[in-house]
């Protein structure tokens, strides 16, 4: 059977003359004409299916881009909101800084007044010290006169002379201390007066501005610049947020249109597939017929192998229909095991690998359960995964995986004699290949277990 299928898969579609037996090549029969028309229609519909699959793939690519843009716009909106909050914080901080500078100015004015009071007090101290100096000077003169008179008194005035000399010396010390106080007070008065002028010289009334007030003025200028920049930035952010919102609306509209285009594309693709199936079911030998028959034969073999395994108690029905997929740790894309995985490794390759070789157009032949789970793939796609290399794994480690996309799930759950589909296969790393796929159901003990998928190129 497989040799016959190989010959038919590699053979060009017969021309009308082959169906014109009985009337010769010059006058084909009505059946021959019909067969020719059906074959030509099959080829045209096949090309339409290919174009529809291409269009759907392009729509998928566009949808991914638009979805990514929508996510980017959402992220941008969130970031702009954070920027707005930050700008509000800057505005609040600049206002607080202005208020703090004003309070500092007021405080400086109060300090200046206090310093003026200190200057006044120091001047009072200086005046008192001056008076003390004068009194000390007079005391020295009086003591000097008393000392002279004591010496004149002779022995009787000696004690008084000693006291007069002591008073004179004390008066001299008081005078020296008073002069020292006056000198220190004078220096301090000059410094404090200068400091007081610095504190009070705010530039009002035509007076020059002190360094302290100049520093505050510079701070105010810088704060104003910050506030102005923040306000300009806030205005720009608001415009950007508004434009971002408009773009977000446009992206949402584009996504809705893409969804509509997807629906039209799916209907168009499904219509072409149905037409191909009807043509293939008509009994006319078309280009897809060998692949349909091959997948039906493979499905029958898989069904027989599984029924025999159940009969021989290599597995029970519950384990064969197990849907508790156990994730394999550390795999990317995610791989799984079930209770029938080992049995599939033992039974399926003998069928899958043989069907894989009957035409050079065949890309893969796999048995899947009704949820699209592939326990064991063709050997070329059963390579152990490489850690951290998702693109390579996607292309080469396709076993132990669940393919529940539109095509995979339709093939897995199909219970008609066969199903034909056209689609783009994701090979990882942004690479795709356009394929046609024939599938047929696998049944065990009257229950639908899954299907066999046979993919081939155009």
pLDDT tops 60 at residue 32: yes
Q: Could you read off the pLDDT of 217-241 as tens digits, one per residue?
A: 777 777 777 877 777 777 777 777 7
Question: Can you tell me the mean pLDDT for 140-147?
Answer: 73
Token digits of residue 303: 């069904």
Span 288-456 CATH architecture: 2-Layer Sandwich (3.30)
pTM above 0.85, yes or no: no
Q: Which residues contact 31 (CB under 8 A, 6 or more apart)?
A: 19
Quick check: helix, strand or coil at residue 404?
coil
pLDDT tops 70 at residue 5: no
Greater confidence (123 vs 30) lies with 123
Token digits of residue 302: 């898989």
pLDDT tops 80 at residue 150: no
Q: Could you read off the pLDDT of 300-339 as tens digits, one per residue?
A: 999 999 999 999 999 999 999 999 999 999 999 999 999 9
DSSP label at residue 371:
T
Residue 395 vs residues 377, 425, 435: alpha-carbon distances, Å: 12, 10, 15
Compute the distance between CA of residue 119 and CA of residue 111 in angstroms, rounded to an integer: 12
Q: Structural domain boundaries of the chain?
A: 79-231, 288-456
Other Cβ atoms within 10 Å of 193 Cβ, number: 16
Q: What homologous superfamily is domain 79-231 in, according to CATH?
A: Methyl-accepting chemotaxis protein (1.10.287.950)
pLDDT tops 80 at residue 245: no
Q: Could you read off the pLDDT of 388-411 as tens digits, one per residue?
A: 999 999 989 999 999 998 889 999
Please provide the size of the chain in residues: 458
Range among 29-33, 37-41, 161-165 with highest mean pLDDT value: 161-165
């Amino acid at each position: 059977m497989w040799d016959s299928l190989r010959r038919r898969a590699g053979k060009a579609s017969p021309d009308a003359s082959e169906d014109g037996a009985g009337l010769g090549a010059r006058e084909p029969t009505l059946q021959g004409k019909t067969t020719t028309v059906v074959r030509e229609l099959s080829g045209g519909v096949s090309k339409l299916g290919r174009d529809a699959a291409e269009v759907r793939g392009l729509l998928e690519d566009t949808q991914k881009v638009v979805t990514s843009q929508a996510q980017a716009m959402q992220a941008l909106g969130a970031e702009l909101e954070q920027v707005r909050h930050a700008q509000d914080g800057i505005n609040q901080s600049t206002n607080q800084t202005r208020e703090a500078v004003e309070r500092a100015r007021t405080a400086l004015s109060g300090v200046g007044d206090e310093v003026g009071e200190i200057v006044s007090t120091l001047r009072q101290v200086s005046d008192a010290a001056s008076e003390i100096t004068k009194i000390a000077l007079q005391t020295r003169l009086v003591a000097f006169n008393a000392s002279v008179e004591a010496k004149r008194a002779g022995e009787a005035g000696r004690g008084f002379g000693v006291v007069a000399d002591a008073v004179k010396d004390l008066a001299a010390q008081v005078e020296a201390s008073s002069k020292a106080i006056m000198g220190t007070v004078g220096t301090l008065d000059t410094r404090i007066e200068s400091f007081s002028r610095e504190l009070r010289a705010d530039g009002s009334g035509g007076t020059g501005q002190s360094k302290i007030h100049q520093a505050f003025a510079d701070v105010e200028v810088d704060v104003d610049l910050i506030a102005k920049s923040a306000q300009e930035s806030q205005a720009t952010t608001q415009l950007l947020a508004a434009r971002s919102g408009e773009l977000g609306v446009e992206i949402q509209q584009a996504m809705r249109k893409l969804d509509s285009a997807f629906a039209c594309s799916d209907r168009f693709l499904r219509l072409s597939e149905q037409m191909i199936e009807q043509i293939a079911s008509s009994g006319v030998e078309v280009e897809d017929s060998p692949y349909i028959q091959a997948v039906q034969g493979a499905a029958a073999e898989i069904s027989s192998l599984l029924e025999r395994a159940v009969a021989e108690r290599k597995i029970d029905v519950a384990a064969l229909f197990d849907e508790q997929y156990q994730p394999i740790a550390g795999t990317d894309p995610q791989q799984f095991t079930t209770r029938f995985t080992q049995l599939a490794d033992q039974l399926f390759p003998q069928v899958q690998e043989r069907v894989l070789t009957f035409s050079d157009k065949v890309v893969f032949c796999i048995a899947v359960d009704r949820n699209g789970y592939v326990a064991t793939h063709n050997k070329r796609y059963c390579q152990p995964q490489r850690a951290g290399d998702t693109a390579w794994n996607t292309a080469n480690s396709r076993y132990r995986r669940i393919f529940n996309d539109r095509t995979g799930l339709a093939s897995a759950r199909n219970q008609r004699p066969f199903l034909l589909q056209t689609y783009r296969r994701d090979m990882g790393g942004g690479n795709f290949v356009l394929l046609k796929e024939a599938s047929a159901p696998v049944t065990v003990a009257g229950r639908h277990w899954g299907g066999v998928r046979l993919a081939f190129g155009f």
